């Protein structure tokens, strides 16, 4: 055997030992591949205490892998390298995955507590009859402002163009969401595919440019909590975390309407542990567990009995649990063609290049 062959053999032996050690450790803890549930989720999007509780109650081990975008999640599942048992895509991505035949239908007869989900969050266009997904969290796109730094409450998208906020506006680094702001401000659908309409929305955003302090993501929380910006475009769940750390912050859903988003649980086609997946779905449908998760994450729960278990200050806050009248003005994102997605991204990039 040559030197390279000996080195290769040593590497293989070490890898085998490490793998064997990992397997033995899992076995010593009562975990095997047969009783491990693999969850593909957004980062920090479930209360760790609930995961431990599920493991204790069911005997299943939960292995969590995370993603930072719907597109990254879609690519990984489509490649099929890892057999995820559950995943948490957003509404438009559920539609795309359904069309691509990447999901298993959900057997509603195996669910206990499905009736706990509010009818407002079921039978959406992206998944008619909820054949492929179960609501996990929902929320809105809106405006957060600091009452010490603005002259009056911010209640409309149009307010963001006010010269009062020159150099004071933080916006999310999201093409779909910021194009939605431009589209709604022009009285258009957030799912428009018309290039002329989309160009007009981008031109509207360009007029906002003098007010924009930065186009960022998680940094918005720091800027707003530390009183370094007066107004920002953000999501309801992110706003909840900011409000908890600064009593002068307020979150509003603009009167013109906004985006209503959903993150739902799905069972990928390659899932190997369906029994474990349904055990987890039923666990999360339990009101007490759903309420605990909502309290930890800060987003709105679609589980009506769970909502009743939350603090009154939370469940009566119109920013997180808006009235039916407000919900009726909200729009849900649809899956757009790659060409249209590319146009959204290109136009948003043009807007970003001004900063």
pLDDT single digits (tens) 221-254: 999 999 999 999 999 988 988 999 999 999 999 9
State yes or no: pLDDT of 143 exceeds 60: yes
Summarize pLDDT for 304-333 with one digit per residue, the tens. Answer: 999 999 999 999 999 999 999 999 999 999
| CA–CA separation, 77 and 70 (whole Å) | 11
Question: What would the mean pLDDT of 195-206 be, rounded to a whole number?
Answer: 98
Average pLDDT over residues 149-176: 95
The pTM for the full model equals: 0.85
H or E, element range at 136:
strand 134-146
3-state secondary structure 248-303: CEEEECCCCCCEEEEEEEECECCCCCHHHHHHHHHHHHCHHHHHHHHHHHCCECCE
Residue 7 has pLDDT above 50, yes or no: no
pLDDT at 22 over 50: no
Contact 181, 154 (CB under 8 A): no
Domain range annotation of the chain: 1-28, 29-138+262-315, 140-260+321-354
Supply the pLDDT for residue 81: 81
Give the three-class secondary structure for 63.
strand
pLDDT for residue 19 is more than 60? no
pLDDT reported for residue 109: 97
Same fold, 29-138+262-315 and 140-260+321-354: yes
Q: Which residue has the higher pLDDT, 143 or 33?
A: 143
pLDDT of residue 42 exceeding 60, the answer is yes
By residue count, the chain amounts to 355
| Residue 57 parent element (H or E) | helix 48-58
pLDDT at 25 over 60: no
**Distance separating alpha carbons of residues 43 and 60, to the nearest angstrom:** 21
pLDDT for 149 beyond 70: yes
Confidence check: pLDDT of 11 > 70: no
Q: Is there a contact between 298 and 161 (Cβ–Cβ < 8 Å)?
A: no
d(CA 234, CA 174): 10
Segment 330-353, tens digit of pLDDT: 999 999 999 999 999 999 999 999
**Which of 67, 133, 136 is closest to 268 using CA atoms?**
133
pLDDT-based confidence at residue 218 (cuts at 50, 70, 90): confident
Q: Are 63 and 36 in contact (CB under 8 A)?
A: yes
The pLDDT of residue 32 is 61
Pairing of strands 212-216, 134-146: unpaired
Superfamily (CATH) of domain 29-138+262-315: Periplasmic binding protein-like II (3.40.190.10)
| Residue 14 pLDDT level (bands cut at 50, 70, 90) | very low
CA pair distance 306, 250, nearest whole angstrom: 24
**pLDDT for res 8:** 41
Q: What is the homologous superfamily of the domain 140-260+321-354 according to CATH?
A: Periplasmic binding protein-like II (3.40.190.10)
Residue 213, classed as helix, strand or coil, is strand
Q: How confident is the model at residue 21 (pLDDT cuts 50, 70, 90)?
A: very low
Tens-digit pLDDT profile for residues 253-306: 999 999 999 999 999 999 999 999 999 999 999 999 999 999 999 899 999 999
| DSSP β-bridge partners for residue 170 | 214, 232
Q: Mutual orientation of helices 274-285 and 287-297 as an angle, nearest 10°?
A: 80
Distance, CA of 119 to CA of 26 (rounded, Å): 41
Q: pLDDT for 108-132, tens place per residue? A: 999 999 999 999 999 999 999 999 9
Between CA 328 and CA 321 the distance in angstroms is: 13
What percent of the chain has a predicted confidence (pLDDT) above 90?
84
Q: Across all residues in the chain, what is the average pLDDT?
A: 90
% of the chain at pLDDT higher than 70:
91
The token pair that represents 51 in the structure block: 């995961």
Is the pLDDT at 23 greater than 70, yes or no? Answer: no
What b/e string do you get for 49-84 counting C-beta neighbours within 10 Å, with b at 16 or more?
Answer: ebbeebbeebebbbbeeebeebeebbebbeeeeeeb
């Amino acid at each position: 055997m040559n030197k390279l062959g000996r080195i290769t053999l040593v590497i293989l032996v070490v890898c085998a030992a490490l793998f064997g050690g990992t397997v033995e450790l899992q076995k010593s803890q009562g975990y095997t591949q047969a009783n491990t549930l693999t969850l593909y989720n957004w980062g920090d999007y479930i209360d760790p205490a609930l995961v431990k509780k599920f493991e204790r109650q069911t005997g299943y081990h939960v292995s969590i892998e995370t993603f930072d975008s719907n597109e990254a999640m879609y690519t990984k599942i489509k490649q099929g390298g890892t057999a995820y048992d559950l995943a948490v895509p957003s509404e438009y991505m559920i539609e795309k995955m359904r069309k691509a035949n990447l999901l298993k239908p959900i057997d509603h007869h195996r669910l206990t507590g499905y009736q706990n989900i509010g009818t407002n969050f079921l039978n959406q266009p992206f998944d008619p009859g909820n054949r492929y997904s179960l609501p996990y969290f929902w929320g809105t796109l809106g405006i957060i402002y600091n009452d010490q730094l603005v002259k009056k409450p911010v209640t409309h998208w149009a307010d963001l163009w006010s010269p009062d906020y020159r150099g004071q506006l933080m916006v999310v680094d999201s093409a779909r969401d910021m194009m939605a702001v431009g589209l709604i401000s022009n009285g258009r659908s957030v799912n428009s595919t018309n290039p002329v309409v989309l160009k007009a929305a981008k031109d509207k955003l360009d007029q906002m440019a003098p007010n924009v302090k930065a186009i960022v993501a998680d940094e918005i929380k720091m800027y707003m909590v530390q009183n370094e910006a007066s107004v920002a475009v953000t999501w309801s769940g992110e706003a909840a975390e900011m409000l908890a750390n600064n009593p002068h912050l307020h979150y509003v859903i603009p009167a013109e309407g906004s985006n209503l988003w959903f993150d739902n649980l799905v069972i990928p086609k390659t899932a190997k542990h369906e029994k474990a997946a349904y055990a987890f779905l039923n666990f999360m449908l339990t009101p007490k567990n759903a309420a605990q998760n909502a309290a930890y994450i800060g987003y709105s729960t679609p589980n009506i009995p769970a909502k009743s278990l939350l603090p009154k200050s939370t469940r009566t806050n119109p920013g997180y649990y808006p009235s039916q009248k407000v919900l009726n003005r909200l729009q849900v994102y649809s899956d757009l063609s790659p060409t249209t997605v590319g146009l959204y991204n290109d136009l948003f990039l043009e807007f970003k290049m001004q900063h």
